[in-house]
Amino acid sequence: MKPRVRMTLSRCLLLVGAFLLGTMCPSAKALRSLKVPRFYSRSGQSLKVSAKPPLDDSRTPPVNSNMQLPLSFEANRELAALGASSKKRVAFLLKVKEGKIEEYKELHKKVWPEMLEALRRNGWHNYSLFLRKDGLLFGYFETAESFQAALKGMAKEQVNGEWQALMAPYFEALGGARPDEKMLELEEVFHLD
């Protein structure tokens, strides 16, 4: 076959493959960018895509260079497994007493390393706290399962019991409960990736 014909046939096969596989090739612009074979490699929990093979290419084979798909089937499954869509976004509210706001902020500048490890171990990722001037506290984190599962895991941690006891005097309307038992979960009504 002539090179021009083979390239056209290759693009035709790519289009058919993309159609059968779903969203592998969402636009004509993406199609033009597929002239170079893609390679994937794992670095920690992220998946990197490049036109050059990694130094250790024994672990990361190139994609099928005949069809030149952007990623192999295995890499697409890995991307889906690592993607943010598999995580649940959680938001909650609490109310810090107005006279205790500065102390509360100071304590959170030096959270115990054991507490940070317990949070990570129990699925609290990308965790942030935001505090309004009147003491309204907004918390956000991402977890694999649910807010309830993340709280249940933390309830088993001794360091969490100690942290919650330390934090209890800083919050309003606990009624004898621990602060993490009074977190008011918010409903997600919109998300833009």
- Summarize pLDDT for 109-158 with one digit per residue, the tens: 999 999 999 999 999 999 999 999 999 999 999 999 999 999 999 999 99
Q: How confident is the model at residue 70 (pLDDT cuts 50, 70, 90)?
A: very low
**Would the pLDDT of 84 be above 50?**
no
Q: How confident is the model at residue 69 (pLDDT cuts 50, 70, 90)?
A: very low
Sequence-ordered alpha helix ranges (H) in the chain: 3-21, 28-32, 73-82, 101-107, 113-121, 147-155, 158-167
CA pair distance 130, 144, nearest whole angstrom:
22
pLDDT the model gives residue 83: 53
**Would the pLDDT of 88 be above 90?**
yes
pLDDT the model gives residue 77: 47
Q: Averaged over 27-50, what is the pLDDT?
A: 47
**Residues annotated as catalytic (active site), given as ranges:** 108
Domains (ranges, CATH) in the chain? 3-82 (no CATH), 87-185 (3.30.70.100)
Distance of CA 189 to the CA centre of its chain: 18
pLDDT the model gives residue 191: 93
Q: How confident is the model at residue 103 (pLDDT cuts 50, 70, 90)?
A: very high
Which residues, in sequence order, are CB contacts of 103 under 8 Å at separation 6+?
A: 170
CA pair distance 39, 50, nearest whole angstrom:
5
pLDDT the model gives residue 129: 97
Q: How confident is the model at residue 86 (pLDDT cuts 50, 70, 90)?
A: confident
pLDDT the model gives residue 54: 52
Q: Averaged over 44-71, what is the pLDDT?
A: 47
Q: What is the DSSP letter of 171?
A: B
